[in-house]
């Protein structure tokens, strides 16, 4: 479980140590940022952390999302728009990430597709595993939304959250799908000040997730370029 996909898709860093953390008089943990401001380490509403609502609205991929990429590990995949996204080389250490993407019109918007073979029983179990990992590895974390959604006819866990690492604020959107042998994840992230302008495009990307037979062999063109920032291994 150490390789949980979202722990990579979510955690961004500049390969530096975390911000300084402290406790308030009433015992709440805060992070002290370089600009001399501070935030609570976890600003998520308790109900939001514990509850997964059901969104009855059906979601579908866009008509422009025509290129299908299949997982090599599980029966899952996704469609994306090759005119708006290009495949880039994923970090070599992130072996659980199958494909990394960069938005063509805005290079600050990244996306990842990955999978893991593991015996997760329910989407709620998956959320219960992921959220503590994100909280431990982020200087600041806020879960904004977690929903069960039907996307392209399959049930997924949809999550939206914000996190701060080394003084930088990021926003994330992800869809996760359970398969017979594990799960797959499609996620996007960008800097917080770029999120509103790119939210629709990010949502369109994650809504490309589908059930698909595991790939036997896949050849894709990889564009050289800087991969999305990833979290370094935490020093013990």
The tens digit of pLDDT for each residue in 155-196 reads: 999 999 998 877 788 999 999 999 988 999 999 999 999 999
> Which pLDDT value is given to residue 20?
66
Q: Please state the pTM of the whole predicted model.
A: 0.79
Question: What does the pLDDT read at residue 23?
Answer: 60
Q: What is the pLDDT of residue 137?
A: 77
pLDDT at 21: 63
Residue-level pLDDT at 7: 44
CA atoms within 13 A on the CB side of 102: 16
* CATH code of domain 5-210: 3.40.1000.10
pLDDT < 50 stretches in the chain: 1-2, 5-8, 10-17, 230-236
Given this model, what pLDDT does residue 47 score?
A: 77
Q: Residue 187 has which token pair?
A: 């996620």
| Spatial separation of the C-alpha atoms in residues 90 and 225, rounded to whole Å | 10
User: What are the backbone dihedrals phi and psi of residue 16, each rounded to the nearest 5 degrees, phi first?
Assistant: -135, 170
Percent of the chain with pLDDT over 90: 51
pLDDT score for 13: 35
pLDDT of residue 76: 95
pLDDT at 135: 80
């Amino acid at each position: 479980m150490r390789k949980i996909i979202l722990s990579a898709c979510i955690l961004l860093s500049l390969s530096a140590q975390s911000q300084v953390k402290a406790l308030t008089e009433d015992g709440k943990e805060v992070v002290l940022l370089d600009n001399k401001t501070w935030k609570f380490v976890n600003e998520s509403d308790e109900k939001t952390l514990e509850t997964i609502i059901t969104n009855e609205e059906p979601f579908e991929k866009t008509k422009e999302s025509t290129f299908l990429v299949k997982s090599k590990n599980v029966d899952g995949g996704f469609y994306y728009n090759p005119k708006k996204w290009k495949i880039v080389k994923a970090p070599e250490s992130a072996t659980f990430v199958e494909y990394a993407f960069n938005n063509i019109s805005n290079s600050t918007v990244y996306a990842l597709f990955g999978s893991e073979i593991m015996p997760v029983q329910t989407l709620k179990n998956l959320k219960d595993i992921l959220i503590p990992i994100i909280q431990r590895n982020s200087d600041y974390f806020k879960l904004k939304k977690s929903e069960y959604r039907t996307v392209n006819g399959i049930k997924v866990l949809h999550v939206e959250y914000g996190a701060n690492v080394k003084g930088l604020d990021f926003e994330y959107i992800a869809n996760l799908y359970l398969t017979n042998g594990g799960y797959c994840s499609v996620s996007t992230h960008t800097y917080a000040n770029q999120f509103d302008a790119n939210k629709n495009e990010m949502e369109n990307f994650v809504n490309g997730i589908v059930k698909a037979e595991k790939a036997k062999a896949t050849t894709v063109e990889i564009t050289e370029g800087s991969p999305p920032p990833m979290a370094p291994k935490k020093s013990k």
